[in-house]
Structure 1
């Protein structure tokens, strides 16, 4: 009997400067554990006249995780951080009661051809931490545990799993794991996981119970035990999940919260431009009033 409960395909979505592949939220599965949003950026080649430019925009009630495979992004935020993220590093920004940030191509790359490829992820905060002070952490690649087992390369990007812990300071039990193999391998890792679990195929393919699944798909497990599956050669997958929250979450634009009141307050604050500004930035992304609140069915 198959342990795959749902298959989610990437859908095109615009983030202003270019198109991305939207994975979560999905109409039949709003969240996996605390993971509320996943975008796959690229791979895309930007010319010397094209750049990533996402002006200042706000967040509440979540942590953002940015992880690049190729390219570079300059992060600036309203608590004074200005840092470039490069492949293999993690930017972990916790919005709490409210933070504003921009994401742009660094100045030294703006007049040259450049690649952009990576993942942008939102992790909802526990209800009791939704109003915490905002924080930002930049974690170098050396802070992410890596190991090889049975010819398979593992990297723990965030959370805890397999007796290891990432330096990314998460706020609820979760895991986000990179798994790579250059040769065909059989994996049995379900017993190490907990809560809700899913598997994202970036490249290559996996085979499970006679079925083959390819890139740009999320396979959501019926439980955390992903069971046995085969990775084809030159495959990269991401296994993610964790303990789900007791309360559902409302997602409106860049805001995530457990109450409608909190969402409405954030909307009013952004309309009034009463969020703290990003130093050195004058632009901002307007509130999309035509959007509707998306209430997860958990």
Structure 2
């Protein structure tokens, strides 16, 4: 996705809640034209959770024929994007020549490194009929040693993502290791990304890592006596053995990993160096980024 022009110095801080909860974040609605998203990261109260630096919840959106996802080519540096859908599909193209349709359960990992351009659209077969879209898109800050690596694109089909049940709760380990499973999705730092689907009354003990958060994509939870509403993100403390209970049928995402150093964000650029972002802005204005293969005519101006 592309985001509006904003500059934020990404430094973590936390407020105190119960012993398992540092902070509860309510998302901000962001209008992307054809539809809006709920954005929880970056947030004025919390900018990162482990290496995760951006978190958008798309939909659920219902599009009439002729409308839908239509994100023109735009650039990224020093980050990796992770796209995961519950419903619908997105057609990915990039300046490496990648051409992939992401469908529910798949993972698309696009590593921007020193620079990449991509677009997110829809196949005509999808756009020509009424259709839905529902999913999450996240960005990872690359470790400083990997910020300028060669760009790359990886597509992991749903069948390759490990799944299990814990106390009757079906879950998938999308990235990293948890519950005795390890995802094949490439990581550059310690990274955690788990999806779980709880029925009312079911409970789940969360995996431990340096920094963690839960996002309630559907339903509601409680942690001890604290109620967690739909669309909220809970920033957790370092307490071990945190137990969540579903107070309604719930779909959640658990994200986390190792704490990263300070990052800056402006528009679609993230870096540990402000001057690198300035260079990227000028390079995009000057047309120095490679064009998206098969989608060369349009672009999003800075």
TM over 0.5: yes
1:152 matched to 2:169: yes
Matched, 1:230 2:230: no
Counterpart Cα distance in 1 of 2:208 and 2:24:
19
Displacement of 1:183 after TM fit? 4.2
Aligned match of 1:248 in 238, 249, 262?
A: 262
Question: Moved runs in structure 1, 4+ residues, more than 6 A?
Answer: none
Residue matched to 1:286: 301
SS of equivalent residue, structure 2 residue 193: strand
Contact 2:20–2:239, Cα closer than 8 Å, also in 1? no
Matched positions, count:
284
The residue aligned with 1:130 is 147
In the superposition, relative to structure 1, how do residues 206 and 226 fare at CA in structure 2: closer, same or farther (>3 Å)? farther
The TM-score, its normalising length taken from structure 1, stands at 0.92
Residue 176 of structure 1 aligns with which residue? Answer: 193
Matches within 5 A, 1:1-298: 1-189=18-206, 192-223=207-238, 225=240, 227-245=242-260, 247-281=261-295, 282-287=297-302
CA distance in 1, matches of 2:140, 2:51: 5
Structure 1: how far apart are the matches of 2:257 and 2:63?
Answer: 35
Question: d(CA) in 2 for partners of 1:180 and 1:268?
Answer: 44
Q: Secondary structure at the match of 1:194?
A: coil
Q: Give the stretch that moved more between structures: 126-135 or 150-159.
A: 150-159
Q: 1:94, CA displacement in angstroms?
A: 0.3
Look up the match of 2:9: none
CA contact (8 A) 1:205 1:212 kept: yes
DSSP-derived class of the 2:176 partner: strand
> Bigger shift: 104-113 or 265-274?
104-113
Distance (whole Å) between structure 2 residues aligned to residue 135 and residue 241 of structure 1: 23
> Within 1, Cα distance between the matches of 2:105 and 2:205?
26
Runs of 5+ consecutive residues of structure 2 not aligned to the other structure: 1-17
In the aligned structure 2, how far is the partner of 1:225 from the partner of 1:254? 35
Does the residue aligned with 1:27 lie in a helix, a strand or coil? coil
Shift of residue 275, structure 1, vs aligned partner: 0.3
Deviation of 1:233 after TM superposition, in Å, equals: 4.3
**Residues in 2 aligned to 1:58 and 1:226: alpha-carbon distance in whole angstroms:** 40
Say if 1:17 and 1:54, in contact at 8 Å, map to a contact too.
Answer: no
Structure 1 residue runs of 5 or longer lacking an equivalent are 288-298
Q: 1:16 Cα shift?
A: 3.4
SS in structure 2 opposite 1:112? Answer: coil
Residues 199 and 246 of structure 2 are in contact (CA less than 8 Å); yes or no, is this contact kept in structure 1? no
Deviations 1:234-275 (A, max 9, x none): 211111100011x20001111110001111110010000110
